[in-house]
Amino acid sequence: MAKVFTIPVPPDVSRKKTRERTSDPRYVDGQRLLVEAMRYLAQADPITNRHAIAFLSEHVRTRFRMTDSPLS
């Protein structure tokens, strides 16, 4: 069997760069568009469109926020 050796390296605090956080207008517009779509579906026929609203809501809460970051 092979052995794995790890050599711990302390983090170099002098290399730390602070990134300025700026919001990406495309990210904010994308979220706004999804919310407006849910609002439209709810006003048109909330009973029939319940599954579509739930799908969009789940997308906003999970995948959209994980895949699209305003800092990338």
Which parts of 8-69 fold into alpha helices (H)?
25-44, 50-61, 63-67
Residue 33 lies in a domain: yes
Residue 7 lies in a domain: no
Provide mean pLDDT across the span 27-42: 87
Q: First-to-last CA distance in the chain?
A: 42
Is 61 within 8 Å of 54 (Cβ atoms)?
A: no
Domain limits for position 31:
23-67
Residue 11 lies in a domain: no
Separation CA 10–CA 43 (nearest Å): 56
- Number of domains composing the chain: 1
pLDDT tens digits along 55-72: 888 877 765 555 555 554
Residue 27 lies in a domain: yes
Within 10 A of 38 (CB to CB), how many other CB atoms are there? 19
pTM over the 0.85 mark? no
Residue 8 lies in a domain: no
> What pLDDT was estimated at residue 48?
93
Residue 62 lies in a domain: yes
* Residue bearing tokens 């999804």: 34
